[in-house]
Amino acid sequence: MKTVAILSGVLRFRSLRGEVERPRDKAWQQGQRGGQKTEAERYFLKAIHLDPTKGNCYMHYGQFLLEESRLLEAAEMAEKAARLDSGEFDVVFSAAHMLRQASLNEAAEKYYGQAASLRPNYPAALMNLGAILHLNGKLQQAEANYLRALELKPDDTITQSNLRKLWNIMEKQGLRTMSP
């Protein structure tokens, strides 16, 4: 179960005395099996309380909230994680995804942009930045990111499809495209 894996990842957190591994796997798994999500949530909150400077604690809690369909709360935790670990691509990219799922597209754009800056030659980062720019009506910027993603990964059918849709919109609006 995905949640159990997330919970296992949160097991290590710092106490005031230093690094201590908390063997709470079994209790957390039992809480999940029994449908007692509140117990698992308490452990996430405790991990955050013990070390509020660790972005991964917020991210794991955000993923838990996302699985619970608590999208706005998940997005809030993801954004905190991305602020704390702003140089970590995986954290920033995941935060952007969570924000997008919560329909917080302006915030998602910020973090997709940050992710693309962290890995400027990573096609998925550029494609997702292009997609959110597309949704946010920034069509020429979206086009540039889609095209750059396709330079790096020419056979990406999703990016190709998104770019064709974008070009159709741009042509209907009378905007100049880089279409061949």
Q: Which residues contact 60 (CB under 8 A, 6 or more apart)?
A: 6, 7, 9, 10, 44, 47
pTM of the model: 0.78
Are 149 and 126 in contact by the 8 Å Cβ rule? The answer is yes
Residue 119 DSSP symbol:
S
Q: Which residues contact 39 (CB under 8 A, 6 or more apart)?
A: 27, 28, 31
Q: Which tens digit of pLDDT belongs to each residue from 148-157?
A: 999 999 999 9
Pick the CATH number of 1-119 from 2.40.70.10, 1.25.40.10, 1.20.140.160, 3.10.450.50: 1.25.40.10
Q: Which tens digit of pLDDT belongs to each residue from 89-141?
A: 999 999 999 999 999 999 999 999 999 999 999 999 999 999 999 999 999 99
Most confident of 23-27, 57-61, 117-121: 117-121
The rounded distance, in Å, linking the Cα atoms of 171 and 139 is 11
Query: Average pLDDT, whole number, for the chain?
Result: 84
Helix (H) or strand (E) holding 13, with range, is strand 12-15
The rounded distance, in Å, linking the Cα atoms of 124 and 18 is 38
Could you state, in order of their start, the residue ranges of all structural domains in the chain?
1-119, 120-180
